[in-house]
Amino acid sequence: MSNDTTANVIIVISAPSGTGKTTLINALLERSEKLKFSVSYTTRPPREGELNGKDYFFVSEKTFKEMIEQNEFVEWVENFGWFYGTARRYIEEVLKDGFDLLIDVETWGAKKIKEAYPEAGLVFILPPSWDELKTRVLRRGVRDEEEINRRFAKAKEEIKEILWYDYIIINDKFTEAFEQLWAVYQAEKLKLFRMTQKIEKIMESFQGGY
């Protein structure tokens, strides 16, 4: 494998709750064996069925804060008393192993990742309308009015950040949205700076002319 990690793709996906982001991500991971999902660190306890190293890296708050002090996170955030973060070391290891990386993160974290890895492709997934988003959230079984209002308020704030994303996908029909997401991934792989080695080999074959 090449040591040039910029040849590998980083796809960062953000979306309000209820847009179908997780379903799209799972479908993308299923189609591509070269694409790995970024596993975040967290201080919250594992939920039933969650595995350490697969769903999250579960660590103590003390360990997490030590990692912050040592600048080990590309981005981190505290939500409802629990810490979540994406480790720089994890990203580098995945890329050096020759894999592409998909990161599911909120808008603030996406901006931090873009600052650290300017070559990353940022994708924001939108619902087709505000009414449809509300319908999807309610369809999930969320009934607590306070929780519903919190999700909607957060969605409005997240949507304000879309202008600095590279790609916008409207998830109206899943099949269309998925193919658009796949097309984004393929387009990122074909960017000139990622094709340099292949181009050089082709150009070498032209040496000597005819």
- 210 falls within a domain: no
- Answer for the pair 75, 67: CB distance below 8 angstroms, yes or no: no
Mean pLDDT of the chain: 91
| pLDDT higher than threshold 90 for residue 176 | yes
User: Which helix (H) or strand (E) covers residue 159, if one does?
Assistant: helix 145-159
Domain of 128, in residue numbers: 5-38+100-205
Quote the pLDDT of residue 186. 96
**Is residue 109, in this structure, part of any structural domain at all?**
yes
Sign of CA pseudo-dihedral 38, 39, 42, 46: positive
Q: How far is CA 63 from CA 45, 70, 71, in A?
A: 14, 11, 12
8 Å CB contact between 35 and 99: yes
pLDDT band at 208 (very low <50, low <70, confident <90, very high): low
Q: Distance of CA 110 to CAs 11, 23, 123, 177, Å?
A: 10, 19, 9, 20
pLDDT at residue 139, as a whole number: 79
Number of domains in the chain: 1
DSSP state of 45: P
pLDDT digits (tens, 9 = 90+) for 43-99: 999 999 999 999 999 999 999 999 999 999 999 999 878 999 999 999 999 999 999
CA-based nearest residue to 84, from 102, 108, 51? 108
* Three-state SS at 53: coil
**Percent above pLDDT 70 for the chain:** 95
* Mean pLDDT to the nearest integer, 166-194: 96
- Kindly state the DSSP code that residue 46 receives in the 8-state scheme: P
Q: Provide, rounded to the nearest whole percent, the portion of the chain with pLDDT above 90.
A: 73
Q: Per the domain annotation, does 71 fall within a domain?
A: no
CATH at 26: 3.40.50.300
Asked whether residue 198 is domain-assigned, the answer is: yes
Give a yes or no: residue 63 inside a domain.
no
92 in any annotated domain: no
Q: Which of 181, 184, 168 is nearest to 128 (CA)?
A: 168
Q: Are 169 and 182 in contact (CB under 8 A)?
A: no
Task: Read off the pLDDT of each residue in 15-19 and give the average, rounded to a whole number.
Answer: 91
Q: For the purposes of burial, counting CB atoms within 10 Å of the CB of 32, is it exposed (0-12), middle (13-18) or buried (19 or more)?
A: middle
